[in-house]
A and B are shown apart, each in its own frame.
Chain A
């Protein structure tokens, strides 16, 4: 049981390049999330998904796209990388119980630099 895995761990992109950050969870969680964490700041929600085929925008979705074709995978796509997208990206998953008490399980993060 690996939990939430993210690849790559580190990446340097040139301005205008594209890339996909991969996220996989093996806990059969319905909910998955993508966050970015800028230096000295909290996490901001980019996109989230409540199940396969369903995605929705979070607080900072501009410049990103997601898809959720399976329960396990939730890739995040950057189409035209900009320096403002330099950040640490976290993927997370959770399963909402009736009591709403389940916290999110986080992946180890991807450190992305755009130059």
Chain B
């Protein structure tokens, strides 16, 4: 079964500090993609960052970076210099061969001033 696991239901971080949100995945596919999305309290889903299974370097997008450890099947999101506007739900997702997507249950991040 294809599966995404996010083990941290809730996380707190001090403003301006860095935080790591964990994600592990399970797939037998050789080619797959890993994504992180942000869902603020307003409800919309916002794409943050992508990592392909064949990419050798970790993806970065501004303050977001993806710590990809293929052998451990983990794809953790690192947010540097946290801001109050980063408070939201964060979802890890996997695109497997055939373009099906699977989402984790999410991590609620609260940034403390």
Contact = CB atoms under 8 A, between A and B. Distances in A.
The answer to whether A and B belong to the same complex is: yes
Contacts of B31: 100
Contact of A106 (B6, B33, B44, B102): B44
Interface stretch (A15-23, A39-47, A71-79): A39-47
Contacts of A100: 31, 33, 50, 52, 95
A67 B37 CA distance: 27
Interface stretch (B11-19, B74-82, B103-111): B103-111
Interface string B20-40: 000000000001010101000
A45 B102 contact: yes
Contact of A104 (B6, B101, B102): B101
Report the contact-size class of chain B (Cβ under 8 Å from the partner).
Answer: 20 to 34
Contacts of A92: 45
Contacts of A59: 100, 102
Contacts, number: 64
A104 B47 contact: yes
Nearest to B95: A100
Given A88-B43, A92-B45, A42 B100 contact: no
User: Chain A, interface size: which category?
Assistant: 20 to 34
A45 B104 contact: no
A62 interface: no
A11 to B, nearest CB: 15
A43 B47 contact: no
Nearest to B92: A42
